[in-house]
Chains A and B, each alone.
Chain A
Amino acid sequence: MLEIGDLSLRYGQHLALDQVNLRAAKGETVVILGANGAGKSSLLKSIAGMVKPVAGSSIALEGRVLTGRPAHEIVEMGVALVPEGRGIFGDLTVEENLLLGAYAKRARNGESSRRAFVYELFPKLAQRRAQYANTMSGGEQQMVAIGRALMSAPDFLMLDEPSLGLAPVVVTELFATLRRVRETGVGLIIVEQNVKVSLSIADRGYLMEAGRIVGEDTAEALLRDPAVQRAFLGMNTETSK
């Protein structure tokens, strides 16, 4: 269980996160929805240790405190982030990216079977092991990013806008792959603009607005929710009757 309690984050005067409460059970897939600037990325960055939340915030994984730990320790504790823009090592090869994905001590046991799994998930990466990551297409780079994160043997994998900048057919493939990742028992926390496809693989979802959580429900309920439909799916429920 990943538990986040009263998480607040400040960038100078700006309150990016305001007392956010959120939880995700092991193996659960949770989607966080919200407009640009609602604080979704800040939330993931706080969990990953890339930014420091204000005092009083609490982030815990299976009861162990993550709050205030540096990013490299968070990985060691079992939470991996695929950041916005992917954050792969462009000047290194696919193989080197995956090698570094398993840098954490927790990842050393079973490294080769995990690598085999990643190459099975993304056969394209297997064909292009020796290729420099920055010479690949956007979809392939996203594969490298997800594969690298999986190599760290995470309990929870967080993805920040994985579909950003990808062609629709690639997005469909990507989420089909994430469904398979989910079946391995890894908890997924996904921040997405693409509401429909992300809710389709999710158990639950949260709605964010101006740094706060303003709603929480099961994925099916959110897909049917008129407010969600109006805000994110571009459907006007008043006139569609």
Chain B
Amino acid sequence: MIVTAILAGLVLGGTYALIAMGLTLQYGIARIMNLAYGDMIITAAFLAFALYSGAGINPLIGLAIAAPAGFILGYAVYALMMHPLVARAKDRVSLETDSILATFGLLFVIQGVLFVIFGGNYTSYSYLNVPVTILGTNIAANRLLAFVLAVVIGGLLYLALTRTRWGTALRAVAVSPSSAALVGIDVDRQARFAFALGGALAACGGVVISMYQTFTAASGVVFTMKALIVVIMGGVGNVLGALSAGLILGLVETFVATYLDPGLTLAATYLIFLVILLWRPSGLFGRSAR
């Protein structure tokens, strides 16, 4: 049973890590607290569902469609909604407040549109729903694929952010925007790009979630909260932190559900959140942007 729990925890944690990486880019680099983040995830989940059950398009191809679409959507949201706020913001705090209010509105717009198109029912589709045996325990192939995708996408992003000048420049904006400008980095452009990249990751997360979970048009807020908790656990702007914290949260949730009571999962999540906010407000791993 413990192997089953660990595997299930890693699958869930991988998904959390993936979606948290996108939010940490948006919050850490673009400095926008995007409350509609989870709804962008769910939009992608519905897109994958529609493509698969409507047109028989494989979710892996759905992923290849959703990721660039998420990038474009993120870019558009930044250009149309966020840029005016950035331009008039006096400091980081006022931008945070404004962006929270603006994206809170966006959340309901996206949710409303999803309700109209897809209704309020729980949605899922059956893709690769065949058991695979790993370490003597059975796991659905779609979950395994979800985990592999999270590891590959998250790992590639991590390498790009830490091993290239391009990625280091993005992290530099998270560390200090004013210093970034002094080495020739166009901070505005990086912020727009980071927000769009966050949108692409949200879309990837959404497709991955749709492969093995049921979801509704109202599920967005749950994923926003989970991603936010992971981001804060990992340290804002800290990509490796988001990866590790995501896996930890997935394991904790699964263990609580398996050994205590499934009803306590959310309670455990928020307990971790509270403990970290109180004792390690800069995250488990301290410094940002590593």
- Give the B-binding residues of A (Cβ under 8 A): 48-50, 70-73, 75-76, 80-81, 83, 87-92, 96, 99-105, 107, 132, 148-149, 152
Contacts and interface: CB of A to CB of B under 8 A. Distances in A.
Nearest to B237: A91
B183 A100 contact: yes
A75 B182 contact: yes
Contact of B168 (A50, A81, A92, A149): A92
A92 B289 contact: yes
Contacts of B171: 92
Given A99-B168, A103-B169, A91 B290 contact: yes
B288 A48 contact: no
B23 interface: no
Interface residues of B, number: 21
Contacts of A101: 183
Contact of A91 (B169, B186, B187, B288): B288
Contacts of B288: 91
Interface stretch (B61-69, B87-95, B106-114, B173-181): B173-181
B228 interface: no
12 contacts: A70-B186, A71-B181, A72-B186, A87-B178, A87-B182, A100-B172, A101-B183, A103-B185, A104-B183, A132-B287, A152-B183, A152-B184
Given A92-B168, A92-B171, A70 B181 contact: yes
A121 to B, nearest CB: 18
A100 B169 contact: yes
A91 B175 contact: yes
B182 A81 contact: yes
B20 to A, nearest CB: 19
Task: Identify whether the interface residues of A are mostly helix, strand, loop, or mixed.
Answer: mixed
Contact of A48 (B172, B182, B185, B186): B182
Contacts of A80: 182
Contact of B179 (A89, A96, A104, A132): A89
Contact of A100 (B185, B186, B187): B185
Interface of B: 165, 168-169, 171-172, 175-176, 178-187, 287-290
B168 A87 contact: no
Among A70, A87, A148, the most chain B Cβ lie within 10 Å of the Cβ of: A87
B181 A91 contact: no
A104 B180 CA distance: 11
Task: Identify whether the interface residues of B are mostly helix, strand, loop, or mixed.
Answer: helix
A87 B179 contact: yes
Nearest to A89: B175
Nearest to B238: A91
B165 A100 contact: yes
A88 B169 CA distance: 13
Nearest to B186: A72
Contacts of B179: 83, 87-89
Given A92-B289, A132-B287, A104 B181 contact: no
B241 to A, nearest CB: 12
B245 to A, nearest CB: 17
B165 A99 contact: yes
A-B pairs with lowest CB-CB distance, top 10: A104-B184, A75-B184, A71-B181, A87-B179, A91-B287, A89-B175, A91-B175, A103-B184, A72-B186, A100-B183
Contacts of B184: 72-73, 75-76, 103-105, 107, 152
A152 B181 CA distance: 12
Contact of A50 (B176, B181, B186): B181
Contacts of B181: 49-50, 70-72
Nearest to B162: A96
Nearest to B181: A71
Contacts of A89: 172, 175-176, 179
Contacts of A148: 183
B178 A50 contact: yes
B83 to A, nearest CB: 15
Among A48, A92, A99, A101, the most chain B Cβ lie within 10 Å of the Cβ of: A92
Given A89-B172, A99-B165, A103-B165, A75 B290 contact: no
B17 to A, nearest CB: 21
A103 B169 CA distance: 8
Among B176, B181, B186, B289, the most chain A Cβ lie within 10 Å of the Cβ of: B181
A96 B176 CA distance: 14
Contact of B182 (A83, A102, A132): A83
Given A75-B184, A103-B184, 20 more contacts: A50-B178, A70-B181, A70-B186, A72-B184, A72-B187, A76-B184, A87-B182, A88-B179, A89-B172, A90-B175, A91-B288, A91-B290, A92-B171, A99-B168, A100-B172, A100-B183, A100-B185, A103-B183, A104-B183, A148-B183
